[in-house]
């Protein structure tokens, strides 16, 4: 019989893990103030420098943040963009392809549109309307058009009432930005087809037509593949590493 060596973990990391466990099990809630560095050092029986390093690690993980105007740390909730940025880097470093990212949008977006038609609130519906109107007005540059496409998908995901969807969707949208810019620049019909599809999806969501919203969103996402082909984008190309 043999045993593996015990893993050495610095003191600051053990402190960070202990605090993170209290945050993740909801003992400490979003906005709760942590004890001072001195109090934490006394409780953990470690030096203040160890506490300081542990708090830096928790802050880099977006689990705590410094309360404005003070040195006290409070429990924080990572924003969607922060989560998406990390996942985007991970996906890019795993060499996922344009096809794989696009295929995941095929999985996520049609059910999101169906749920939006069923669950939409007045505020969420208004956000979709603004996104559709905003895209129609964004013809100045490919960057503006891509921003309009992303805002539409975000608005539909929010209207679904499922908070998991935006967290899963956002890194995919970030990864597809570069490819969508090329499509909008090179594929002449792309802007008009996107605008038309958004209009059909909005109409279905407004009337509570769940099947129609799902069907039109599925067509919309499938249409991106045709746009990639017209723009000469190889779907097996790895998504570019984010800057």
The C-alpha atoms of residue 12 and residue 9 are separated, in whole angstroms, by 8
Q: How confident is the model at residue 90 (pLDDT cuts 50, 70, 90)?
A: confident
- pLDDT score recorded for residue 59: 93
Compute the C-alpha angle 114/229/222, nearest 5°: 10
pLDDT beyond 70 at 72: yes
Q: What contacts 70, CB < 8 A, 6 or more positions away?
A: none
pLDDT beyond 80 at 224: yes
pLDDT beyond 60 at 242: no
Element spanning 64, H or E: strand 64-66
pLDDT beyond 80 at 218: yes
The C-alpha atoms of residue 179 and residue 204 are separated, in whole angstroms, by 28
Element spanning 75, H or E: strand 73-75
| pLDDT > 70 fraction of the chain, expressed in percent and rounded | 94
For residues 178-199, give the mean pLDDT: 85
pLDDT beyond 60 at 208: yes
Average pLDDT, the chain: 89
Compute the C-alpha angle 147/148/154, nearest 5°: 90
Q: What contacts 209, CB < 8 A, 6 or more positions away?
A: 117, 203
Burial of 109 by CB count in 10 Å (0-12 exposed, 13-18 middle, 19+ buried)?
Answer: buried
Q: Are 107 and 222 in contact (CB under 8 A)?
A: no
- Least confident piece of the model among 2-11, 108-117, 157-166: 2-11
The C-alpha atoms of residue 135 and residue 144 are separated, in whole angstroms, by 8
The C-alpha atoms of residue 145 and residue 141 are separated, in whole angstroms, by 6
| Distance (Å) of CA 74 to CA 41, 54, 70, 94, 110 | 17, 14, 10, 34, 38
For residues 151-177, give the mean pLDDT: 92
The C-alpha atoms of residue 204 and residue 201 are separated, in whole angstroms, by 5
Q: Which domains does the chain have, with CATH numbers?
A: 11-75 (1.10.10.10), 81-230 (1.20.120.530)
What separation, in Å, do the N-terminal and C-terminal C-alpha atoms of the chain show? 49
Residue 85 or 45, more confident = 45
- pLDDT score recorded for residue 1: 65
- Least confident piece of the model among 61-75, 78-92, 107-121, 153-167: 78-92
- pLDDT score recorded for residue 64: 94
């Amino acid at each position: 019989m043999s045993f593996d060596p015990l893993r050495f973990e610095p003191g600051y990391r053990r402190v960070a893990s202990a605090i993170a466990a209290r945050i993740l099990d909801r003992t400490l809630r979003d906005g709760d103030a942590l004890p001072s560095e001195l109090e934490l050092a006394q409780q953990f029986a470690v030096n203040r420098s160890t506490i300081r390093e542990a708090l830096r690690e928790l802050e880099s993980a977006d689990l705590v943040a410094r309360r404005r105007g003070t040195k006290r740390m409070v429990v924080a909730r990572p924003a969607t963009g922060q989560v998406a940025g990390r996942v985007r880097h991970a996906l890019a470093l795993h060499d996922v392809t344009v096809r794989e990212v696009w295929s995941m949008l095929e999985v996520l977006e049609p059910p999101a549109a169906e749920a939006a038609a069923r669950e939409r609130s007045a505020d969420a519906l208004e956000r979709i309307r603004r996104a559709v109107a905003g895209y129609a007005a964004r013809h100045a540059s490919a960057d503006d058009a891509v921003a309009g496409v992303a805002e539409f998908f975000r608005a539909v995901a929010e209207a679904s009432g499922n908070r998991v969807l935006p967290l899963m969707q956002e890194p995919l949208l970030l990864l597809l930005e570069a490819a969508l810019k090329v499509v909008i620049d090179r594929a002449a019909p792309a802007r008009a087809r996107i605008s038309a599809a958004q209009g059909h999806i909005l109409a279905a969501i407004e009337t509570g037509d769940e099947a129609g919203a799902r069907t039109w969103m599925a067509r919309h996402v499938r249409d991106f593949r045709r746009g990639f082909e017209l723009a000469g984008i190889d779907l097996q190309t790895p998504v570019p590493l984010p800057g």
